[in-house]
A and B are shown apart, each in its own frame.
Chain A
Amino acid sequence: QSVLTQPPSVSGAPGQRVTISCTGSSSNFGANYDVQWYQQLPGKGPKLLIYDNTNRPSGVPDRFSASKSGTSASLAISGLQTEDEADYYCQSYDNILSGSVFGGGTKLTVL
């Protein structure tokens, strides 16, 4: 059971917008630790998608956006493309565990 809770799966049609939630607690998001998001394409290693809650590394399309409020965070993907089909993970720091923690991951299916 992950410290950060994500829905197991989401889906959307090409061109649509989907959101993926990530619920934490007072020892991570609530303690003001930042959230990161990673994309893992099938058979590949993870790729940093969002850092410091809302920032995109260079090269990440602006179709990807994210937010954080209180003990929750979310990733939004607009203008869905078939190549967005992947697993998405949220990640933060937890001060009770004294280490980084990941969400369980959400599989995005582009219908």
Chain B
Amino acid sequence: QVQLVQSGSELKKPGASVKVSCKASGYTFTKFSINWVRQAPGQGLEWLGRINTNTGNPTYAQGLTGRRFVFSLDTSVNTAYLQISSLKTEDTAVFFCVRPMAQRLNTFEYWGLGTLVTVSS
């Protein structure tokens, strides 16, 4: 069965960086993109973008300013990564990796359990 296993919670200071991992299993990793979705405390869902796991090409949501958010892959271990640099307190959120449904790029069928990133001094 499809599983997306995310790395554990992180506590970081402002200005630091964090790298969240998402290890996929139960399907051919390179056949489906991986999306990243953010949920700030008590807030709604926000799509951050996706990475094409076949080409490595990322697509970032227009709302993401600068290049603080970077998607990457290690296809040898079926894992996607979200790296956030120059962390700000407002980056505190749960980050979900998500796999779409077959042949439906924008239908989010499988979700990881989420990784809580807390940014605090």
Physical interaction between A and B = yes
Residues on A lying within 8 angstroms of B by beta carbon are 2, 33-34, 36, 38, 40, 45-48, 51-52, 57, 87, 89, 91-93, 97-105
Residues on B lying within 8 angstroms of A by beta carbon are 35, 37, 44-47, 49, 59, 61-63, 96, 101, 104, 106-109, 111-114
For the A-B complex with A51-B109, A91-B47, A102-B45 known, give 12 more contacts whose Cβ atoms are closer than 8 Å: A33-B106, A36-B107, A45-B114, A46-B37, A51-B101, A51-B107, A57-B109, A91-B106, A97-B62, A98-B62, A104-B44, A105-B44
B112 touches A45 (CB 8 A): yes
By a CB distance below 8 angstroms, the chain A residues around B35 are 100
Bound-state CA distance A38–B47 (Å) is 13
Q: Which of B44, B62, B109 lies in contact with A102, CB distance below 8 A?
A: B44
15 A-B contacts, Cβ less than 8 Å apart? A33-B106, A36-B108, A45-B113, A45-B114, A51-B109, A52-B107, A57-B109, A91-B47, A91-B106, A91-B108, A97-B63, A99-B61, A100-B47, A102-B44, A102-B46
Bound-state CA distance A2–B43 (Å) is 11
By a CB distance below 8 angstroms, the chain A residues around B111 are 45-47
B62 touches A93 (CB 8 A): no
Bound-state CA distance A79–B74 (Å) is 46
| B interface secondary structure, majority | strand
By a CB distance below 8 angstroms, the chain B residues around A98 are 59, 62
B106 touches A100 (CB 8 A): yes
- Chain B's nearest CB lies how many Å from the CB of A91? 7
A48 touches B45 (CB 8 A): no
- Chain A's nearest CB lies how many Å from the CB of B70? 17
Q: Which of B44, B47, B114 has the most CB of A within 10 A?
A: B44
Q: Which of B46, B61, B96, B104 lies in contact with A45, CB distance below 8 A?
A: B96
Bound-state CA distance A58–B28 (Å) is 21
CB-based closest 5 A-B pairs: A105-B44, A100-B47, A102-B45, A45-B111, A93-B106
